[in-house]
């Protein structure tokens, strides 16, 4: 299957419409911090023919496929292998002081879910890897086989919001002593067996939360998001816009907090006139988080958990 055929960008039209007012001037720079297979990037370059794109991804396979897709746009597209929190370094290397648009499509990409050998999906048996960049870092199997039980419980609770973390980890520890974990099917079966019946009745595949927790741990995703969103806001010029798609509550909470802080006055209470340095530097463009339409979910089931938040830079930082 071609990358174009299997990749349906989530909430694409809404992302483009949100960014549009910031990308009308010739030479405007928009950063796609999560290139993936390049669906959002291709649409940005097509919709805004005067804009220049900088696109980041840590996955060499994604960069190769997206590079082929974006080749017709020539030097309007600059693709960089980097994690999104490295945005300030990337822009500095490229000599770009400020950008007019930033897009994040957080979480795991369609390609990573669809390539069985990556081990992201619990629906098919695969090696337990889950690294977005398979050239570096520890795999999910190493986390399962080597982390102390208490640390595994913490990860499942914090990153998977798994209420049955202790029960699942007890089963993992028992089984890994017999034989180390290597493949996803064994882990899925273990989780099914470990959970009480009541816990399996709701919420889809019972392995979903554990797989999410392992993926976040392996890729340091939340720590990266915590650094990346403020860095992206700081990189925006006045009038620039940032749009973030997140797929689970932990990511969405970080985005919400950064945007809310930027849109709030920091002045001490009771000042008759609020000095410039205390004024908000962001304007929220969404009321809460926007959700995909029923039509979009019907067309692309991976859009179902998406939450979109957007903000506009309205003021420079005042020292």
117-219 matches 3-105+221-313 in CATH topology: no
What is the per-residue pLDDT for 5?
Answer: 38
Among the ranges given (6-15, 90-99, 137-146), the one the predictor scored with the smallest mean pLDDT: 6-15
**Assigned superfamily of 3-105+221-313:** Vaccinia Virus protein VP39 (3.40.50.150)
With a CB cutoff of 8 Å and minimum separation 6, the contacts of 131 are 137, 138, 139, 218, 219
Binding-site residue set for S-adenosyl-L-methionine:
38-40, 57, 84, 105, 112
Banded model confidence at residue 196, pLDDT cuts 50, 70, 90:
confident
pTM listed for this prediction: 0.85
- Domain positions in the chain: 3-105+221-313, 117-219
Topology adopted by domain 117-219: DNA polymerase; domain 1 (1.10.150)
pLDDT, tens digit, for every residue of 207-231?
A: 888 998 999 999 888 999 999 999 9
Mean pLDDT, range 231-238, rounded to an integer: 97
What is the per-residue pLDDT for 2?
Answer: 36
Binding-site residue set:
38-40, 57, 84, 105, 112
Banded model confidence at residue 232, pLDDT cuts 50, 70, 90:
very high
pLDDT, tens digit, for every residue of 127-183?
A: 898 887 777 789 999 999 999 999 999 999 999 999 999 999 999 999 999 999 999
Banded model confidence at residue 3, pLDDT cuts 50, 70, 90:
very low
């Amino acid at each position: 299957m071609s990358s174009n055929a299997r990749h349906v960008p989530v909430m694409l039209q809404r992302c483009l419409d949100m960014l549009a007012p910031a990308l009308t001037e010739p030479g405007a720079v928009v950063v796609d911090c999560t290139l993936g297979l390049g669906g959002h990037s291709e649409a940005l370059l097509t919709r805004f023919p005067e804009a220049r794109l900088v696109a980041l991804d840590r996955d060499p396979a994604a960069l190769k496929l997206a590079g082929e897709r974006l080749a017709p746009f020539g030097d309007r597209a600059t693709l960089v292998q980097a994690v999104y929190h490295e945005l300030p370094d990337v822009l500095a290397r490229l000599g770009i002081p400020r950008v007019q648009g930033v897009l994040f499509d957080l979480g795991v990409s369609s390609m990573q879910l669809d390539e069985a050998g990556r081990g992201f999906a619990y629906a098919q048996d695969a090696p337990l890897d889950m690294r977005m960049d398979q050239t570096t870092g520890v795999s999910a199997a190493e986390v399962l086989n080597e982390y102390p039980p208490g640390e595994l419980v913490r990860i499942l609770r914090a990153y998977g919001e798994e209420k049955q973390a202790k029960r699942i980890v007890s089963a993992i520890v028992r089984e890994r002593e017999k034989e180390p974990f290597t493949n996803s099917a064994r882990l899925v079966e273990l989780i099914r067996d470990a959970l009480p019946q009541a816990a399996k009745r709701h919420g889809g595949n019972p392995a979903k939360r554990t797989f999410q927790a392992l993926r976040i741990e392996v890729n340091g995703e939340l720590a990266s998001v915590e650094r990346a969103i403020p860095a992206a806001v700081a990189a925006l010029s006045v009038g620039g816009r940032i749009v973030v798609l997140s797929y689970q509550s932990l990511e969405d909470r970080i985005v919400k907090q950064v945007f809310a802080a930027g849109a709030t006055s920091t002045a001490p209470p009771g000042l008759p006139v609020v000095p410039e340095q205390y004024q908000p530097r962001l304007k929220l463009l969404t009321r809460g988080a926007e959700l995909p339409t029923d039509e979009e979910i019907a067309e692309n089931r991976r859009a179902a958990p998406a939450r979109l938040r957007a903000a506009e830079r309205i003021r420079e930082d005042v020292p």
